[in-house]
A and B are shown apart, each in its own frame.
Chain A
Amino acid sequence: MIPIECYFVLSALLFFIGVYGFVTRRNLIAMLISVELVLNAVDINFAAINRLLYPDGMEGMFMTLFVIGVAAAESAVAIAIIINVYRNFRSDSVDSIKNMKW
């Protein structure tokens, strides 16, 4: 039997790797990929807590399912925005969007 701390440490590692990518990357798609890593870390936590601490309930599992659905929709909309940004600014780095700074 795997102690639940292993899952927590794994998901903490994944989460902060995602945070590191989000902070350092300047490309919009790379930042989106980092956000997906963060979401996956949270999903691992939900599933592990549900299974190992409260095996009778199903809340964590359904939360993970809904997070997967929302993440898919979110990344589709984000990709649409990125393509539009590229079409308007001819660049895909976050620094190119100066209009939103005002």
Chain B
Amino acid sequence: MGNMIMFTILAAVIVISALLCVTTKRIMRAATYMLFVLLGVSGIYFLLDYTFLGAAQIAVYAGGVTMILVFAIQLVSKRSLQGMEERVKASKMITGALAALAGLVVVSLILLKTGFITQEISNTELPMKEIGMSLVGSGKYQYVLPFEFISVFLLACIIGGLVIARKEEKQ
């Protein structure tokens, strides 16, 4: 019962913040509402007893990505982004809303029609030791290879970001 109440609150926060995020005219407010969505999603992870996942979500997403976005908004321009009012054409808005609604209806109908067999889970969180062992283990159902791929990928992204964002030298 308590879980259900928490889920309802989190779902309301997520959906309302997401709606405000895509409909608000100011870009800075959109970034702030996105922060609320991210915190709500991490709450969902805590509700599912994935504590490590929720912590990673807060640290990486709410801490890192939002910070990068805010810095970019502040960096890009005085006139165009800070306090910018973005005008969206009504026809485009209606088209987008119709497309999104159609997709939502189809997906929801399929999901609700399918009978899922859920197992009763005890409210115990995954032990951290188990997560760590299978994250860097190389056996079956262990994930050292994607882990290393991610590290190489992050390195490539750092180098790529530096190369793209650096100032061109004047000839």
Question: Which of B81, B119, B131, B146 has a CB less than 8 Å from the CB of A66?
Answer: B146
Which of chain B's residues have a CB closer than 8 A to the CB of A19? 96, 99-100, 103
Give the size range of B's interface with the partner. Answer: 35 or more
Q: Are B3 and A53 in contact (CB under 8 A)?
A: no
* In the complex, chain A residues 18-46 whose Cβ is within 8 Å of any chain B Cβ: 18-21, 23-27, 29-30, 32-34, 36-37, 40, 43-44
Q: Are A61 and B41 in contact (CB under 8 A)?
A: no
Which of chain A's residues have a CB closer than 8 A to the CB of B119? 52-53, 55
Q: Are A9 and B165 in contact (CB under 8 A)?
A: no
Q: Mark B145-158, 1 if CB is under 8 A from A, else 0.
A: 01000100110011
Q: Are B72 and A17 in contact (CB under 8 A)?
A: no
- Count of chain A to chain B residue pairs whose CB atoms are closer than 8 Å in the complex: 217
Chain B interface, DSSP helix/strand/loop, else mixed = helix
CA of A52 to CA of B38, assembled, Å: 21
Which of chain A's residues have a CB closer than 8 A to the CB of B93? 24
Among B4, B65, B111, chain A packs the most CB atoms within 10 A around the CB of B65
Q: Mark B39-75, 1 if CB is under 8 A from A, else 0.
A: 0010011011110010011001100110011011101
Beyond A1-B120, A19-B100, A79-B68, whether A70 also contacts B4 by CB under 8 A is no
Q: Are B86 and A26 in contact (CB under 8 A)?
A: yes
Give the Cβ gap from B135 to chain A, nearest Cβ, in Å.
7
Give the Cβ gap from B94 to chain A, nearest Cβ, in Å.
10
Q: Look across to chain B and name the residue whose beta carbon is closest to the beta carbon of A12.
A: B107
Q: Are A2 and B60 in contact (CB under 8 A)?
A: no
Which of chain A's residues have a CB closer than 8 A to the CB of B95? 23
Q: Are B22 and A17 in contact (CB under 8 A)?
A: yes
Beyond A36-B34, A91-B80, A92-B80, whether A72 also contacts B65 by CB under 8 A is yes
CA of A30 to CA of B30, assembled, Å: 7
CA of A19 to CA of B19, assembled, Å: 11
Q: What are 5 sample pairs from A and B whose C-beta atoms fall under 8 A apart?
A: A15-B107, A59-B141, A61-B126, A66-B146, A77-B157
Which 5 A/B pairs are nearest by Cβ-Cβ distance? A21-B22, A23-B96, A73-B157, A80-B165, A20-B100
Since A8-B111, A68-B56 are in contact, a sample of 19 more A-B pairs with Cβ atoms closer than 8 Å, ordered by chain A residue number, is A1-B3, A6-B7, A6-B11, A9-B108, A14-B15, A16-B101, A17-B15, A23-B92, A27-B81, A29-B31, A30-B86, A36-B61, A47-B50, A52-B121, A58-B126, A69-B154, A77-B160, A82-B72, A91-B80
